[in-house]
Amino acid sequence: MEGRRKALLFTLCFFFISLPTFSSLPTFQTLIPSSHSLPSASPTSFQPESEPDSESLLGGSESEYGSDSESSITLNLDHIDALSTNRTPQELFSFRLQRDSRRVESIATLAARIPRRNATHAPRTVGFSSSVVSGLSQGSGEYFTRLGVGTPARYVYMVLDTGSDIVWLQCAPCRKCYSQSDPIFDPRKSRTYSTIPCSSPLCRRLDSAGCNTRRRTCLYQVSYGDGSFTVGDFSTETLTFRRNRVKGVALGCGHDNEGLFVGAAGLLGLGKGRLSFPGQTGHRFNQKFSYCLVDRSASSKPSSVVFGNAAVSRTARFTPLLSNPKLDTFYYVELLGISVGGTRVPGVTASLFKLDQIGNGGVIIDSGTSVTRLIRPAYIAMRDAFRVGAKTLKRAPDFSLFDTCFDLSNQNEVKVPTVVLHFRGADVSLPATNYLIPVDSNGKFCFAFAGTMSGLSIIGNIQQQGFRVVYDLTGSRVGFAPRGCA
Protein backbone atom coordinates (compact mmCIF):
# COMPACT_ATOMS: atom_id res chain seq x y z
CA MET A 1 0.00 0.00 0.00
CA GLU A 2 2.83 2.39 0.97
CA GLY A 3 4.48 1.72 -2.39
CA ARG A 4 1.23 2.56 -4.22
CA ARG A 5 0.92 5.84 -2.29
CA LYS A 6 4.48 6.84 -3.23
CA ALA A 7 3.84 5.95 -6.85
CA LEU A 8 0.61 7.99 -6.85
CA LEU A 9 2.33 10.93 -5.15
CA PHE A 10 5.13 10.85 -7.73
CA THR A 11 2.60 10.73 -10.56
CA LEU A 12 0.67 13.73 -9.18
CA CYS A 13 3.85 15.75 -8.63
CA PHE A 14 5.01 15.00 -12.16
CA PHE A 15 1.60 16.01 -13.52
CA PHE A 16 1.52 19.35 -11.71
CA ILE A 17 5.11 20.15 -12.65
CA SER A 18 4.45 19.40 -16.32
CA LEU A 19 1.06 21.07 -16.61
CA PRO A 20 2.17 24.74 -17.01
CA THR A 21 4.20 23.93 -20.14
CA PHE A 22 1.24 22.32 -21.95
CA SER A 23 -0.35 24.55 -24.64
CA SER A 24 0.83 27.69 -22.82
CA LEU A 25 0.87 31.02 -24.64
CA PRO A 26 2.97 34.07 -23.75
CA THR A 27 0.95 36.84 -22.13
CA PHE A 28 2.96 39.98 -23.00
CA GLN A 29 5.53 41.17 -25.50
CA THR A 30 7.62 44.33 -25.80
CA LEU A 31 6.89 47.25 -28.12
CA ILE A 32 9.48 49.99 -28.63
CA PRO A 33 7.44 53.06 -29.67
CA SER A 34 10.42 55.17 -30.70
CA SER A 35 11.41 52.70 -33.42
CA HIS A 36 8.00 52.82 -35.14
CA SER A 37 6.48 55.96 -36.59
CA LEU A 38 4.70 57.18 -39.67
CA PRO A 39 7.12 57.49 -42.62
CA SER A 40 7.68 60.83 -44.23
CA ALA A 41 7.57 61.25 -47.98
CA SER A 42 10.71 61.72 -50.02
CA PRO A 43 10.94 64.27 -52.82
CA THR A 44 13.05 61.94 -54.92
CA SER A 45 11.77 59.42 -57.43
CA PHE A 46 12.40 55.72 -56.93
CA GLN A 47 14.87 53.96 -59.18
CA PRO A 48 14.74 50.16 -59.10
CA GLU A 49 18.05 48.56 -58.22
CA SER A 50 18.19 46.72 -61.51
CA GLU A 51 15.88 46.36 -64.47
CA PRO A 52 17.09 44.28 -67.43
CA ASP A 53 17.34 45.76 -70.87
CA SER A 54 14.19 44.53 -72.60
CA GLU A 55 15.88 44.43 -75.97
CA SER A 56 18.60 42.16 -74.61
CA LEU A 57 15.95 39.75 -73.35
CA LEU A 58 14.90 39.09 -76.92
CA GLY A 59 18.34 37.68 -77.60
CA GLY A 60 17.50 34.42 -75.87
CA SER A 61 18.52 34.96 -72.25
CA GLU A 62 14.96 35.16 -70.92
CA SER A 63 13.02 32.29 -69.37
CA GLU A 64 9.85 31.17 -71.12
CA TYR A 65 8.82 28.61 -68.48
CA GLY A 66 9.82 25.19 -69.65
CA SER A 67 10.28 22.20 -67.34
CA ASP A 68 12.70 23.65 -64.78
CA SER A 69 10.79 23.15 -61.53
CA GLU A 70 13.47 24.92 -59.51
CA SER A 71 13.43 28.11 -61.57
CA SER A 72 12.93 31.10 -59.31
CA ILE A 73 14.04 34.70 -59.04
CA THR A 74 14.12 36.78 -55.88
CA LEU A 75 14.04 40.57 -56.08
CA ASN A 76 14.49 42.97 -53.20
CA LEU A 77 11.47 44.56 -51.62
CA ASP A 78 11.67 48.33 -51.35
CA HIS A 79 9.42 50.80 -49.57
CA ILE A 80 7.66 53.18 -51.88
CA ASP A 81 8.31 56.25 -49.68
CA ALA A 82 10.66 57.54 -52.37
CA LEU A 83 7.68 58.26 -54.62
CA SER A 84 7.04 61.90 -53.98
CA THR A 85 3.91 63.43 -52.49
CA ASN A 86 2.93 66.76 -50.97
CA ARG A 87 0.84 65.24 -48.18
CA THR A 88 2.04 65.02 -44.59
CA PRO A 89 2.39 61.58 -42.97
CA GLN A 90 -0.77 62.19 -40.92
CA GLU A 91 -2.74 63.20 -44.02
CA LEU A 92 -1.48 60.14 -45.87
CA PHE A 93 -2.51 57.84 -43.06
CA SER A 94 -5.98 59.39 -42.77
CA PHE A 95 -6.43 59.11 -46.52
CA ARG A 96 -5.33 55.50 -46.36
CA LEU A 97 -7.97 54.68 -43.74
CA GLN A 98 -10.69 56.44 -45.76
CA ARG A 99 -9.83 54.37 -48.83
CA ASP A 100 -9.63 51.28 -46.67
CA SER A 101 -13.17 51.76 -45.36
CA ARG A 102 -14.49 52.18 -48.88
CA ARG A 103 -12.67 49.03 -49.99
CA VAL A 104 -14.21 47.01 -47.15
CA GLU A 105 -17.66 48.22 -48.20
CA SER A 106 -16.86 47.20 -51.78
CA ILE A 107 -15.77 43.70 -50.73
CA ALA A 108 -18.90 43.24 -48.63
CA THR A 109 -21.02 44.23 -51.61
CA LEU A 110 -19.10 41.93 -53.94
CA ALA A 111 -19.56 39.01 -51.55
CA ALA A 112 -23.32 39.28 -52.10
CA ARG A 113 -23.06 38.78 -55.86
CA ILE A 114 -24.27 35.88 -58.00
CA PRO A 115 -22.08 32.76 -58.29
CA ARG A 116 -19.31 32.28 -60.83
CA ARG A 117 -17.70 29.01 -61.85
CA ASN A 118 -14.15 28.16 -60.83
CA ALA A 119 -11.52 27.43 -63.45
CA THR A 120 -9.26 24.37 -63.40
CA HIS A 121 -5.82 23.98 -64.93
CA ALA A 122 -3.40 21.13 -65.52
CA PRO A 123 -0.27 21.67 -63.39
CA ARG A 124 3.21 22.32 -64.76
CA THR A 125 6.13 23.39 -62.60
CA VAL A 126 7.94 26.68 -63.03
CA GLY A 127 8.85 29.67 -60.89
CA PHE A 128 9.55 33.37 -60.96
CA SER A 129 9.26 36.38 -58.68
CA SER A 130 9.10 40.15 -58.43
CA SER A 131 9.61 42.86 -55.84
CA VAL A 132 6.91 44.21 -53.51
CA VAL A 133 6.73 47.63 -51.88
CA SER A 134 4.41 49.38 -49.44
CA GLY A 135 2.20 52.13 -50.82
CA LEU A 136 1.85 54.10 -47.59
CA SER A 137 3.71 57.13 -48.86
CA GLN A 138 1.21 57.41 -51.70
CA GLY A 139 -1.72 57.38 -49.30
CA SER A 140 -2.44 53.79 -50.27
CA GLY A 141 -3.08 50.83 -48.01
CA GLU A 142 -2.05 48.48 -50.77
CA TYR A 143 1.35 47.06 -51.60
CA PHE A 144 3.00 47.35 -54.97
CA THR A 145 5.02 45.04 -57.19
CA ARG A 146 7.23 46.18 -60.05
CA LEU A 147 7.07 44.39 -63.37
CA GLY A 148 7.60 44.93 -67.08
CA VAL A 149 4.71 45.33 -69.52
CA GLY A 150 4.97 44.78 -73.28
CA THR A 151 7.89 44.30 -75.67
CA PRO A 152 10.20 46.03 -75.09
CA ALA A 153 9.23 45.87 -71.41
CA ARG A 154 8.24 49.12 -69.72
CA TYR A 155 8.60 48.78 -65.95
CA VAL A 156 5.74 50.05 -63.79
CA TYR A 157 4.32 49.65 -60.29
CA MET A 158 1.23 47.45 -60.00
CA VAL A 159 -0.96 47.06 -56.91
CA LEU A 160 -0.70 43.53 -55.52
CA ASP A 161 -4.30 42.50 -54.79
CA THR A 162 -5.58 39.09 -53.68
CA GLY A 163 -9.10 40.51 -53.49
CA SER A 164 -9.40 41.27 -57.22
CA ASP A 165 -9.34 39.18 -60.38
CA ILE A 166 -8.73 41.51 -63.32
CA VAL A 167 -5.21 42.58 -64.30
CA TRP A 168 -5.29 46.13 -65.68
CA LEU A 169 -3.15 49.23 -66.17
CA GLN A 170 -3.49 52.74 -67.54
CA CYS A 171 -2.86 53.06 -71.26
CA ALA A 172 -2.25 55.85 -73.73
CA PRO A 173 -4.06 57.58 -75.27
CA CYS A 174 -5.87 58.61 -72.09
CA ARG A 175 -9.38 59.92 -72.11
CA LYS A 176 -8.79 60.46 -68.41
CA CYS A 177 -5.92 59.06 -66.34
CA TYR A 178 -4.89 59.64 -62.74
CA SER A 179 -1.33 60.55 -61.71
CA GLN A 180 1.10 57.64 -61.54
CA SER A 181 4.80 57.44 -60.71
CA ASP A 182 5.89 55.90 -64.05
CA PRO A 183 5.19 56.96 -67.65
CA ILE A 184 1.82 55.70 -68.88
CA PHE A 185 2.08 52.52 -70.96
CA ASP A 186 1.52 53.03 -74.69
CA PRO A 187 0.38 49.78 -76.35
CA ARG A 188 1.23 51.18 -79.79
CA LYS A 189 4.90 50.91 -78.85
CA SER A 190 4.71 47.23 -77.87
CA ARG A 191 5.30 44.40 -80.34
CA THR A 192 3.38 41.86 -78.26
CA TYR A 193 0.18 43.79 -77.54
CA SER A 194 -3.00 42.39 -79.08
CA THR A 195 -6.67 43.23 -78.68
CA ILE A 196 -9.20 40.46 -77.99
CA PRO A 197 -12.12 39.87 -80.38
CA CYS A 198 -15.64 40.28 -79.02
CA SER A 199 -16.35 36.65 -79.92
CA SER A 200 -13.45 35.33 -77.84
CA PRO A 201 -14.18 33.08 -74.81
CA LEU A 202 -11.89 35.40 -72.82
CA CYS A 203 -14.24 38.30 -73.52
CA ARG A 204 -17.26 36.27 -72.39
CA ARG A 205 -15.56 35.58 -69.04
CA LEU A 206 -15.76 39.25 -68.09
CA ASP A 207 -18.50 40.28 -65.68
CA SER A 208 -18.97 43.59 -67.50
CA ALA A 209 -17.97 43.06 -71.11
CA GLY A 210 -18.59 45.41 -74.01
CA CYS A 211 -17.79 45.43 -77.70
CA ASN A 212 -16.29 48.10 -79.91
CA THR A 213 -18.65 47.61 -82.85
CA ARG A 214 -16.34 49.34 -85.30
CA ARG A 215 -13.23 47.30 -84.50
CA ARG A 216 -15.10 44.24 -83.15
CA THR A 217 -12.79 44.19 -80.14
CA CYS A 218 -13.60 43.43 -76.52
CA LEU A 219 -14.06 46.18 -73.94
CA TYR A 220 -13.84 45.80 -70.16
CA GLN A 221 -15.06 47.80 -67.20
CA VAL A 222 -14.20 47.34 -63.52
CA SER A 223 -16.00 49.42 -60.89
CA TYR A 224 -15.12 49.63 -57.21
CA GLY A 225 -17.25 50.37 -54.15
CA ASP A 226 -15.63 53.76 -53.60
CA GLY A 227 -16.83 54.98 -57.02
CA SER A 228 -13.49 54.42 -58.76
CA PHE A 229 -13.55 52.66 -62.12
CA THR A 230 -11.40 51.70 -65.09
CA VAL A 231 -12.64 51.26 -68.67
CA GLY A 232 -10.79 50.31 -71.84
CA ASP A 233 -9.68 47.56 -74.21
CA PHE A 234 -9.46 43.97 -73.04
CA SER A 235 -6.25 42.66 -74.57
CA THR A 236 -3.33 40.27 -74.22
CA GLU A 237 0.22 41.29 -73.44
CA THR A 238 3.57 39.98 -72.20
CA LEU A 239 4.50 40.62 -68.56
CA THR A 240 8.16 40.47 -67.49
CA PHE A 241 9.36 39.59 -63.99
CA ARG A 242 13.04 40.46 -64.27
CA ARG A 243 14.27 38.05 -66.98
CA ASN A 244 11.17 35.87 -66.90
CA ARG A 245 8.54 36.63 -69.53
CA VAL A 246 4.93 35.47 -69.27
CA LYS A 247 3.25 35.72 -72.65
CA GLY A 248 -0.41 36.15 -73.51
CA VAL A 249 -1.74 37.51 -70.22
CA ALA A 250 -5.26 38.87 -70.63
CA LEU A 251 -5.46 42.35 -69.12
CA GLY A 252 -7.37 45.57 -69.26
CA CYS A 253 -5.75 48.47 -71.08
CA GLY A 254 -7.54 51.36 -69.41
CA HIS A 255 -8.11 54.60 -71.31
CA ASP A 256 -10.54 56.07 -68.74
CA ASN A 257 -9.45 55.54 -65.13
CA GLU A 258 -11.08 57.67 -62.46
CA GLY A 259 -11.41 57.76 -58.69
CA LEU A 260 -9.14 57.11 -55.73
CA PHE A 261 -6.37 55.23 -57.50
CA VAL A 262 -2.97 56.38 -56.27
CA GLY A 263 0.61 56.05 -57.50
CA ALA A 264 0.66 52.71 -59.30
CA ALA A 265 0.04 52.15 -63.00
CA GLY A 266 -2.63 49.55 -62.37
CA LEU A 267 -3.48 46.34 -60.57
CA LEU A 268 -2.17 42.78 -60.61
CA GLY A 269 -5.23 40.74 -59.65
CA LEU A 270 -4.20 37.70 -57.59
CA GLY A 271 -7.71 36.47 -56.69
CA LYS A 272 -9.05 32.96 -57.25
CA GLY A 273 -11.15 33.86 -60.30
CA ARG A 274 -10.50 32.64 -63.84
CA LEU A 275 -9.21 35.98 -65.13
CA SER A 276 -6.81 36.70 -62.26
CA PHE A 277 -3.09 36.31 -62.87
CA PRO A 278 -2.96 32.94 -61.00
CA GLY A 279 -6.19 31.88 -62.71
CA GLN A 280 -4.74 32.48 -66.17
CA THR A 281 -1.15 31.36 -65.67
CA GLY A 282 -1.19 29.15 -62.57
CA HIS A 283 -0.43 26.05 -64.62
CA ARG A 284 2.95 27.61 -65.45
CA PHE A 285 4.01 27.93 -61.80
CA ASN A 286 2.35 24.86 -60.26
CA GLN A 287 -0.48 26.93 -58.72
CA LYS A 288 1.75 28.35 -55.97
CA PHE A 289 2.69 31.91 -55.04
CA SER A 290 3.63 33.83 -51.92
CA TYR A 291 4.48 37.31 -50.76
CA CYS A 292 5.89 39.02 -47.71
CA LEU A 293 4.66 42.52 -46.97
CA VAL A 294 7.28 44.77 -45.41
CA ASP A 295 6.54 46.85 -42.36
CA ARG A 296 4.54 49.79 -43.71
CA SER A 297 7.08 52.24 -42.22
CA ALA A 298 10.26 50.33 -43.16
CA SER A 299 12.52 51.58 -45.91
CA SER A 300 15.13 48.91 -46.55
CA LYS A 301 13.90 45.45 -45.55
CA PRO A 302 14.21 42.97 -48.41
CA SER A 303 11.24 40.92 -49.60
CA SER A 304 9.56 39.55 -52.69
CA VAL A 305 6.53 38.07 -54.32
CA VAL A 306 7.42 34.59 -55.59
CA PHE A 307 5.63 32.34 -58.07
CA GLY A 308 6.40 28.61 -58.29
CA ASN A 309 7.55 25.87 -55.95
CA ALA A 310 10.07 28.21 -54.30
CA ALA A 311 7.10 30.22 -53.01
CA VAL A 312 6.38 27.60 -50.34
CA SER A 313 8.23 28.32 -47.10
CA ARG A 314 9.36 25.36 -45.00
CA THR A 315 8.43 27.22 -41.81
CA ALA A 316 4.89 28.09 -42.89
CA ARG A 317 1.94 26.89 -40.85
CA PHE A 318 -0.95 26.02 -43.12
CA THR A 319 -4.70 26.26 -42.83
CA PRO A 320 -7.13 24.84 -45.43
CA LEU A 321 -8.76 27.12 -47.98
CA LEU A 322 -12.55 27.05 -48.03
CA SER A 323 -14.72 27.35 -51.13
CA ASN A 324 -17.52 29.89 -51.35
CA PRO A 325 -20.22 28.54 -53.69
CA LYS A 326 -21.31 32.10 -54.43
CA LEU A 327 -18.00 33.76 -55.32
CA ASP A 328 -14.63 32.42 -56.44
CA THR A 329 -12.55 35.61 -56.07
CA PHE A 330 -11.68 35.54 -52.36
CA TYR A 331 -9.42 33.29 -50.28
CA TYR A 332 -11.59 32.01 -47.42
CA VAL A 333 -10.08 30.45 -44.29
CA GLU A 334 -11.52 29.08 -41.05
CA LEU A 335 -10.87 31.20 -37.96
CA LEU A 336 -11.59 29.20 -34.79
CA GLY A 337 -10.83 31.80 -32.12
CA ILE A 338 -8.51 34.51 -30.81
CA SER A 339 -6.24 34.71 -27.77
CA VAL A 340 -5.27 37.94 -26.02
CA GLY A 341 -2.66 37.94 -23.27
CA GLY A 342 -2.24 34.19 -23.50
CA THR A 343 -5.94 33.42 -22.91
CA ARG A 344 -8.69 32.54 -25.35
CA VAL A 345 -11.18 35.38 -25.62
CA PRO A 346 -14.54 34.11 -24.29
CA GLY A 347 -17.33 34.24 -26.83
CA VAL A 348 -15.03 34.45 -29.86
CA THR A 349 -15.81 31.07 -31.39
CA ALA A 350 -15.73 29.46 -34.81
CA SER A 351 -19.50 29.89 -35.17
CA LEU A 352 -19.09 33.68 -35.42
CA PHE A 353 -16.86 33.30 -38.50
CA LYS A 354 -18.66 30.42 -40.20
CA LEU A 355 -19.05 30.46 -43.98
CA ASP A 356 -22.53 29.07 -44.53
CA GLN A 357 -23.76 26.85 -47.34
CA ILE A 358 -25.07 29.74 -49.43
CA GLY A 359 -21.84 31.74 -49.18
CA ASN A 360 -22.61 34.25 -46.44
CA GLY A 361 -20.20 35.13 -43.62
CA GLY A 362 -16.71 33.68 -43.41
CA VAL A 363 -13.19 35.10 -43.18
CA ILE A 364 -10.94 36.08 -46.09
CA ILE A 365 -7.25 36.94 -46.44
CA ASP A 366 -6.87 40.18 -48.40
CA SER A 367 -3.65 41.97 -49.35
CA GLY A 368 -5.52 45.12 -50.41
CA THR A 369 -7.32 45.83 -47.13
CA SER A 370 -5.16 47.49 -44.49
CA VAL A 371 -6.98 47.04 -41.18
CA THR A 372 -8.39 43.65 -40.16
CA ARG A 373 -12.18 43.76 -39.79
CA LEU A 374 -13.89 41.29 -37.47
CA ILE A 375 -17.59 40.68 -37.17
CA ARG A 376 -18.65 43.12 -34.47
CA PRO A 377 -19.37 40.76 -31.54
CA ALA A 378 -15.94 39.17 -32.01
CA TYR A 379 -14.22 42.54 -32.28
CA ILE A 380 -15.86 43.95 -29.14
CA ALA A 381 -14.88 40.90 -27.09
CA MET A 382 -11.30 40.99 -28.40
CA ARG A 383 -10.97 44.76 -27.90
CA ASP A 384 -12.27 44.59 -24.36
CA ALA A 385 -9.82 41.81 -23.51
CA PHE A 386 -6.97 43.89 -24.92
CA ARG A 387 -8.04 46.96 -22.94
CA VAL A 388 -7.95 44.92 -19.74
CA GLY A 389 -4.48 43.60 -20.56
CA ALA A 390 -3.24 47.10 -21.45
CA LYS A 391 -4.81 48.90 -18.49
CA THR A 392 -1.42 50.24 -17.34
CA LEU A 393 -0.96 52.17 -20.59
CA LYS A 394 -2.12 55.78 -20.83
CA ARG A 395 -5.27 56.02 -22.95
CA ALA A 396 -5.62 58.56 -25.77
CA PRO A 397 -8.64 59.79 -27.77
CA ASP A 398 -10.04 57.67 -30.60
CA PHE A 399 -8.60 58.10 -34.08
CA SER A 400 -10.64 57.56 -37.25
CA LEU A 401 -12.01 54.01 -37.14
CA PHE A 402 -9.81 53.07 -34.14
CA ASP A 403 -11.56 53.18 -30.75
CA THR A 404 -8.68 51.96 -28.57
CA CYS A 405 -5.66 54.28 -28.60
CA PHE A 406 -2.77 55.01 -26.25
CA ASP A 407 -0.34 57.84 -25.57
CA LEU A 408 3.11 56.23 -25.71
CA SER A 409 5.07 59.45 -26.07
CA ASN A 410 8.32 59.53 -24.11
CA GLN A 411 8.13 55.75 -23.62
CA ASN A 412 11.30 53.79 -24.42
CA GLU A 413 9.45 50.47 -24.33
CA VAL A 414 6.11 49.12 -23.15
CA LYS A 415 4.66 45.70 -22.42
CA VAL A 416 1.54 44.89 -24.43
CA PRO A 417 -0.74 41.83 -24.37
CA THR A 418 -0.01 39.19 -27.00
CA VAL A 419 -2.51 38.50 -29.79
CA VAL A 420 -2.85 35.10 -31.49
CA LEU A 421 -5.21 34.22 -34.34
CA HIS A 422 -6.25 30.57 -34.19
CA PHE A 423 -6.92 29.24 -37.68
CA ARG A 424 -7.69 25.59 -38.26
CA GLY A 425 -4.28 23.91 -38.14
CA ALA A 426 -2.34 27.16 -37.71
CA ASP A 427 -1.91 29.45 -34.70
CA VAL A 428 -0.58 32.80 -35.92
CA SER A 429 1.09 34.86 -33.19
CA LEU A 430 1.22 38.51 -34.23
CA PRO A 431 4.19 40.79 -33.49
CA ALA A 432 3.17 43.81 -31.41
CA THR A 433 3.85 46.10 -34.39
CA ASN A 434 1.09 44.27 -36.31
CA TYR A 435 -1.68 45.38 -33.96
CA LEU A 436 -0.47 48.46 -32.06
CA ILE A 437 0.48 51.02 -34.69
CA PRO A 438 1.44 54.72 -34.78
CA VAL A 439 -1.21 57.06 -36.15
CA ASP A 440 0.67 60.34 -35.79
CA SER A 441 4.18 61.61 -35.11
CA ASN A 442 3.51 62.44 -31.45
CA GLY A 443 3.53 59.00 -29.88
CA LYS A 444 -0.12 58.08 -30.37
CA PHE A 445 -0.63 54.35 -31.05
CA CYS A 446 -3.92 52.56 -31.76
CA PHE A 447 -5.17 48.98 -31.64
CA ALA A 448 -5.25 48.15 -35.36
CA PHE A 449 -8.46 46.13 -35.59
CA ALA A 450 -12.00 47.26 -36.29
CA GLY A 451 -15.50 45.87 -36.17
CA THR A 452 -17.78 45.40 -39.14
CA MET A 453 -21.55 45.17 -39.41
CA SER A 454 -21.09 42.93 -42.43
CA GLY A 455 -21.03 39.20 -41.84
CA LEU A 456 -17.70 38.98 -43.66
CA SER A 457 -14.45 39.29 -41.66
CA ILE A 458 -11.21 40.32 -43.41
CA ILE A 459 -7.60 39.68 -42.38
CA GLY A 460 -5.84 42.83 -43.62
CA ASN A 461 -2.26 43.60 -44.61
CA ILE A 462 -1.23 45.32 -41.35
CA GLN A 463 -1.72 42.01 -39.59
CA GLN A 464 0.04 40.14 -42.43
CA GLN A 465 3.16 42.29 -42.48
CA GLY A 466 6.42 40.44 -41.79
CA PHE A 467 4.87 37.05 -42.59
CA ARG A 468 5.45 35.18 -45.82
CA VAL A 469 1.89 34.37 -46.83
CA VAL A 470 1.86 31.25 -49.01
CA TYR A 471 -0.98 30.41 -51.41
CA ASP A 472 -0.77 26.74 -52.37
CA LEU A 473 -3.74 26.37 -54.69
CA THR A 474 -2.80 22.80 -55.65
CA GLY A 475 -3.01 21.81 -51.98
CA SER A 476 -5.97 24.17 -51.38
CA ARG A 477 -4.27 25.79 -48.40
CA VAL A 478 -2.73 29.08 -47.26
CA GLY A 479 0.25 29.31 -44.92
CA PHE A 480 1.94 31.87 -42.67
CA ALA A 481 5.71 31.89 -42.11
CA PRO A 482 6.90 34.40 -39.45
CA ARG A 483 9.90 36.62 -40.22
CA GLY A 484 9.43 35.78 -43.89
CA CYS A 485 10.66 39.02 -45.46
CA ALA A 486 14.38 38.24 -45.20
pLDDT at 78: 47
Rounded Cα gap, residues 344 and 337, in angstroms: 7
Q: Which residues contact 363 (CB under 8 A, 6 or more apart)?
A: 332, 333, 334, 335, 353, 355, 456, 457, 458, 459
Rounded Cα gap, residues 460 and 141, in angstroms: 10
Query: Of the listed 161, 165, 233, 295, which one is catalytic?
Result: 161
Is pLDDT of 116 > 50?
no
- Which of 408, 391, 412 has the alpha carbon at shortest distance from 446? 408
Question: Domain 126-311 adopts which CATH fold?
Answer: Cathepsin D, subunit A; domain 1 (2.40.70)
Which band of pLDDT confidence, cut at 50, 70 and 90, is reported for residue 123?
Answer: very low
Average pLDDT over residues 78-102: 60
Average pLDDT over residues 43-49: 40
Is pLDDT of 453 > 80?
yes
Instruction: Note the Cα 425 to chain centre separation in Å.
Output: 21
Which band of pLDDT confidence, cut at 50, 70 and 90, is reported for residue 483?
Answer: confident
pLDDT at 244: 86
Q: Which CATH class is domain 313-485?
A: mainly beta
Among 113-122, 205-214, 286-295, the minimum mean pLDDT is found in: 113-122
Residue 89 CB neighbour total at 10 angstroms: 21
Average pLDDT over residues 453-471: 93
Is pLDDT of 461 > 70?
yes
pLDDT at 302: 52
pLDDT at 15: 32
pLDDT at 368: 82
Q: Which residues contact 460 (CB under 8 A, 6 or more apart)?
A: 100, 141, 366, 369, 370, 371, 372, 373
pLDDT at 141: 46
pLDDT at 305: 87
pLDDT at 395: 96
pLDDT at 98: 67
Rounded Cα gap, residues 209 and 198, in angstroms: 9
Average pLDDT over residues 72-89: 50
Indicate if 472 belongs to the active site.
no
pLDDT at 394: 95
pLDDT at 30: 80
Is pLDDT of 4 > 60?
no
- Report which listed range, 101-110, 148-157, 203-212, is most confident: 148-157
Contact 373, 460 (CB under 8 A): yes
Indicate if 366 belongs to the active site.
yes
The per-residue pLDDT for range 374-406, each reduced to its tens digit, is 999 999 999 999 999 999 999 999 999 999 999
Query: Of the listed 78, 81, 295, 366, which one is catalytic?
Result: 366
Q: Residue 188 class from Cβ within 10 Å (0-12 exposed, 13-18 middle, 19+ buried)?
A: exposed
Average pLDDT over residues 205-223: 91
Domains 126-311 and 313-485 in one fold: yes
Contact 239, 191 (CB under 8 A): no
pLDDT at 107: 74
Which band of pLDDT confidence, cut at 50, 70 and 90, is reported for residue 369?
Answer: confident
> Which residues in 14-26 are b (16+ Cβ under 10 Å) and which e?
eeeeeeeeeeeee
- Which of 171, 134, 131, 165 has the alpha carbon at shortest distance from 150? 171
- Which of 153, 175, 139 has the alpha carbon at shortest distance from 255? 175
pLDDT at 296: 61
Rounded Cα gap, residues 35 and 155, in angstroms: 33
Which band of pLDDT confidence, cut at 50, 70 and 90, is reported for residue 118?
Answer: very low
Contact 36, 426 (CB under 8 A): no
Is pLDDT of 90 > 90?
no
Average pLDDT over residues 269-280: 92
More confident residue, 142 or 309: 309
Contact 184, 150 (CB under 8 A): no
Q: Where are the domains of the chain?
A: 126-311, 313-485
pLDDT at 240: 92
pLDDT at 132: 52
Mean pLDDT (the chain, rounded): 80
Among 136-145, 199-208, 429-438, the minimum mean pLDDT is found in: 136-145
Is pLDDT of 412 > 50?
yes
Q: How many residues does the chain have?
A: 486
